[in-house]
Chains A and B, each alone.
Chain A
Amino acid sequence: MNGDGITDVSGFPRPPFEFEDAEERVIGIREFDGERDALMRMYEEYDPGDRAQGIPPVRGDALERWLDSILKGVNAVSWDGDDAVGHATLVEDEGMDAHELAIFVAQSHQCAGVGSRLIRGVLSLAYERGVRDVWLSVERWNRAAVRLYNGVGFEKTRQEGFEIEMATRLTES
């Protein structure tokens, strides 16, 4: 599972925190605290073209089941006022001491620095919760995502065909 990726979370902001994004909106990043309805609203409006490997599911009941399963892990949410505009989640692999990461940013808040703060925030939170090994898979053509993951220490562990797998180990210096 481990490549050579190392992520030092000591420089990462730990939720809760606020910042001003590239469009001068004040964005708060906080740990998920039961705001399931706000996340449902974000995912119901999510652009199907921004889905990755089948998630988030588009249809209502599949979406609800998926959301319930991932909300058991470590979750951080980006807020613009009362609107959820980003969500990062780590889900534990059954029987393995590793967590799978995924991150979603609403179309209205992409390319504004929300994703890069959110991923740092969720990794810092995950470290605090005892998570060490993190992996993810990303479609090969999604270069913006690969850059984001590289930027926080992820390294490729497998690349054959349509998707790339990346992994890192969280540390704190």
Chain B
Amino acid sequence: MKTVLGMGGTDDSIRALEHTLDRVADTGDDLTVAVIENPDSVPDSDEVKDRAKEIVEEHEADAEIVHLSGDPGSAIVEFAESNGYDEIVLGGGETSAMGKIQIGRVAEFVLLNSHTSVKLVR
């Protein structure tokens, strides 16, 4: 299976990457990490790309890292569809002090617009 993980740099996107690297270690799936420009993330995309590279190396995994510019939701959907990916993986949202799950804007857009299956990591 070809999986693309969208990573904007928020904590949930980092957890999603770690979870997905563990999964592909078991399944042997083909993973691409797409660094996207998430407006809700503080670090800029160069920092996020470096962080992604570090995490991939820590897991001794083999994953291509690409940078997608422009609107993050539409960029990841278009990238997945035009490159024959089977699945988009995203962070599953942050939780408030109360414990309520709050889904990010990028995940909302992707859920509503993607024709590729979407997985949110909790």
A→B interface (CB under 8 Å): 52-55, 57, 66, 69-70, 89, 91-94, 100, 102, 137, 160-163
B84 CB contacts on chain A under 8 angstroms: none
A94 vs B96: C-alpha distance when bound (angstroms): 10
Q: State which residues 70-121 of B face A: CB under 8 Å.
A: 95-103, 105, 108
Determine whether the beta carbon of A161 is less than 8 Å from that of B98. no
Q: Tell me the nearest residue of chain A to B103, going by C-beta.
A: A162
A52 CB contacts on chain B under 8 angstroms: 100
Determine whether the beta carbon of B105 is less than 8 Å from that of A100. no
Q: Which of B95, B100, B101 has most chain A Cβ within 10 Å?
A: B100
Determine whether the beta carbon of A54 is less than 8 Å from that of B99. yes
Determine whether the beta carbon of B100 is less than 8 Å from that of A137. yes
Q: Closest CB-CB distance, A59 to chain B, in whole Å?
A: 13
Determine whether the beta carbon of B99 is less than 8 Å from that of A57. yes
Determine whether the beta carbon of A93 is less than 8 Å from that of B105. no
User: How many of chain B's residues touch chain A, expressed as a range?
Assistant: 10 to 19
A93 vs B99: C-alpha distance when bound (angstroms): 11
Q: Tell me the nearest residue of chain B to A165, going by C-beta.
A: B102
A161 CB contacts on chain B under 8 angstroms: 103, 105, 108
Given A161-B108, A162-B108 in contact, is the A91-B98 Cβ separation under 8 Å? Answer: yes
Q: How many A-B residue pairs have CB under 8 A?
A: 41
B101 CB contacts on chain A under 8 angstroms: 53-54
A69 vs B99: C-alpha distance when bound (angstroms): 9
Determine whether the beta carbon of A137 is less than 8 Å from that of B102. yes
A89 CB contacts on chain B under 8 angstroms: 98
A94 vs B108: C-alpha distance when bound (angstroms): 25
Closest 6 CB pairs of A and B: A161-B108, A53-B100, A54-B101, A100-B98, A53-B101, A91-B97
Q: Which of B97, B98, B100, B108 has most chain A Cβ within 10 Å?
A: B98
Q: Closest CB-CB distance, B40 to chain A, in whole Å?
A: 12
Q: Tell me the nearest residue of chain B to A62, going by C-beta.
A: B99
Determine whether the beta carbon of B95 is less than 8 Å from that of A54. yes
Determine whether the beta carbon of B97 is less than 8 Å from that of A55. no
B108 CB contacts on chain A under 8 angstroms: 160-162
A20 vs B43: C-alpha distance when bound (angstroms): 54
Q: List 25 A-B contacts (CB under 8 A).
A: A53-B101, A54-B95, A54-B99, A54-B101, A55-B98, A55-B99, A55-B100, A66-B99, A70-B98, A89-B98, A91-B97, A91-B98, A92-B97, A93-B96, A100-B96, A100-B97, A100-B98, A100-B100, A102-B98, A102-B100, A137-B96, A137-B100, A160-B105, A161-B105, A162-B108
